[in-house]
Chains A and B, each alone.
Chain A
Amino acid sequence: MSLLEVKNLKVAYGGIQAVKGIDLHIDQGELVTLIGANGAGKTTTLRTLVGMVKPAEGTIQYDGKPTGKTPVFDFVRKGLVMVPEGRGVFGRLTVEENLRMGAYYRNDESAIRSEIDYVYELFPRLKERMTQLAGTLSGGEQQMVAMGRAMLSKPKLLLLDEPSMGLAPIIVQKIFEIVQMISKQGVTILLVEQNAKLALEISDRGYVMESGRITMSGAASELLSSDAVQKAYLGE
């Protein structure tokens, strides 16, 4: 059974339909990417998955149960964690405090401590800056904070909204390596991206979204070599 199963999802803002009936599923342990241009409805889809936006129609099943009326703050406890677009780092909290926010719902202090140390091992840069306000970090460092923070929430399914947005290519490369590494640890990931090539390269499967509909789906390698994707997103 799939960890996440979305059927005929429709979302509307006022009269405008942003998502026009999509189906998607993610199996345990997969790294799935959702690619598409600006305004295709990717972010709306993610926000609907964590209850921030209410669907107009359709069902979302997470871990075998419909998410229905689960309040937003409860999703984290169930292992469904989102890293919002633009990173959502708390600029006026220190790096360490930001990481602790990820563990907000937990109270196993000793485990939290050792996981924070693990994040510092992954990102030595963050350790150097642990007492610094996160808002004074560079974009790449902030993205590291956002990822580290998400890891402290102990996700089963991690939803990443455009982690590469606004970052220098070399940093993007590094961020994608980290995404891959988190995935290897057994965390299921849904990666929403505009950077189609990189996203497909690290993913198992992919969905292509265009103006509120999923127009293509399949194994990442197939999508990567398909003519349509090549033309539309890879510019080759």
Chain B
Amino acid sequence: MPQNQSKRMLAFALSGIVLAVLPFIVGSTLGNSWVRTLDFALLYIMLALGLNIVVGFAGLLDLGYIAFYAVGAYTFALLNSPHLSIFMPWWFILPLGAILAAFFGIMLGTPVLRLRGDYLAIVTLGFGEIIRIFMNNLNAPVNITNGPQGINMIKPIEVAGFSLGKPVELFGTTYNSVYIYYYLFLLLAVLTVIICHRLQHSRIGRAWVALREDDVAANAMGLNIRNIKLLAFAMGATFGGVAGGLFASFQGFVSPESFGLMESIMVLAMVVLGGMGNISGVILGAVLLTVTPELLRDIIGPLQMKAFGRMIVDPENARMLMFGLALIVVMLVRPEGLWPSKRRKAEFHDALDDGIPAADSQAADGLKG
């Protein structure tokens, strides 16, 4: 179907152009803080897609995913800041952070191989907290992480002597560093999407679904359950590690506060709300959950002033309240997520039978032929 193909190409080209000019449109109409929100949306897309490998593809509920983000961020922070007076090039520490995160993924994966569902969730939740508490307390007796104060003055990523952290002048206008980071994040987010897409339709992607479905049968197919599960944890963690490193260089500052349980839950909510197991859905979830709270911040305060002439509810509280409400409504109306995968949709809407065979009359008809 060449017509279909050319349509697709057109769609790709169009979305490419939109994504390329987006920060300029947003920046000139809404201001730089919104470009910053865009940057975070891209970071969260990477994170959510990473978690989607573990939760969406392999079906392993991970409530401590943010720990891998923390590992990546702290690796970058420790090895490229005045804190330990170590300055290593980003192209070394970003992959290093990813590898370390993968290592932690396997560390978490190994003891939980036999756990499922609630029990798995509890252990992963504990793991996430352990990492955060370590970051919080590793300032004595030897100061490694600088404790709750966090690590400051992390050097931004530099490409060929050009620092991404400095504003640039282009055609007489000065552009903040958030613009440059936007393109870096966009590049990596696109790369993440491509990898996830390839993974999903690969032998390993099928193996993850099969494992989730029926581990006895999967095992009988010659699938090494242990390795496949660990691979899911490691792959997911890798994306978290990369995103963490980017976060550290972008912010220039990391502290344990950024890696709390709430963050883990937020990323999980992106995956579930968007549509577990579906890449487009997860991206949608990440963008919505990053942009909506910011949007509400800009709306609720002024709205109250207009309507009542004074602030009745603190905008910060009202914002989270509305946000929570929106989440509940979506989950009630569309439990499978806003943009679910075919498989996930079937789980919720089709009477997928597990062992109870459906009517056989159709099959009988088919067999006669």
Q: Please report A residues at the B interface, Cβ cutoff 8 Å.
A: 50, 52, 71-77, 81-82, 84, 86, 88-93, 97, 100-102, 104-105, 124-125, 128, 133, 135-142, 144, 149, 153, 166-168, 170-171, 174
Residues of A within 8 A of B354 (CB): 91, 135
Q: Are B358 and A174 in contact (CB under 8 A)?
A: no
* A1: min CB distance to chain B, Å: 25
* A145: min CB distance to chain B, Å: 11
- Measured in the bound complex, the distance between the Cα atoms of B268 and A142 in whole Å is 34
Q: Are B357 and A92 in contact (CB under 8 A)?
A: no
Q: Are A92 and B352 in contact (CB under 8 A)?
A: yes
- Measured in the bound complex, the distance between the Cα atoms of B339 and A65 in whole Å is 52
Residues of A within 8 A of B216 (CB): 52, 84, 88
- Measured in the bound complex, the distance between the Cα atoms of B214 and A89 in whole Å is 8
* Subset of 30 A-B contacts with CB under 8 Å: A50-B220, A52-B220, A73-B221, A73-B223, A73-B224, A82-B220, A86-B355, A88-B220, A90-B213, A90-B218, A91-B213, A92-B352, A97-B206, A100-B203, A100-B206, A102-B221, A104-B207, A125-B367, A135-B353, A138-B357, A138-B358, A139-B363, A140-B357, A140-B367, A141-B362, A153-B222, A166-B357, A167-B357, A167-B360, A170-B360
Known A74-B222, A140-B357; contact A93-B346, beta-carbon cutoff 8 A:
no
B338 CB-CB contact with A under 8 Å = no
Q: Are A171 and B360 in contact (CB under 8 A)?
A: yes
* B331: min CB distance to chain A, Å: 21
Residues of A within 8 A of B346 (CB): 91-92, 133, 135-136
B343 CB-CB contact with A under 8 Å = yes
Nearest A residue to B222, CB-CB: A76
Partner of B220, one of A84, A137, A171: A84
Q: Please report B residues at the A interface, Cβ cutoff 8 Å.
A: 203, 206-207, 209-210, 212-214, 216-225, 342-343, 346-347, 350, 352-364, 366-367, 369
- Measured in the bound complex, the distance between the Cα atoms of B353 and A3 in whole Å is 36
* B279: min CB distance to chain A, Å: 16
Q: Are B206 and A125 in contact (CB under 8 A)?
A: no
Q: Are A92 and B220 in contact (CB under 8 A)?
A: no
Residues of B within 8 A of A171 (CB): 360, 363-364, 367
Q: Are B363 and A140 in contact (CB under 8 A)?
A: yes
Partner of A136, one of B217, B224, B350: B350
Q: A88-B214, A137-B358 are in contact. List 19 more A-B contacts (CB 8 A).
A: A52-B216, A72-B219, A75-B220, A75-B222, A84-B216, A92-B209, A100-B203, A102-B221, A125-B363, A133-B342, A133-B352, A135-B354, A138-B358, A139-B357, A139-B360, A140-B364, A144-B363, A171-B367, A174-B367
Nearest A residue to B220, CB-CB: A82
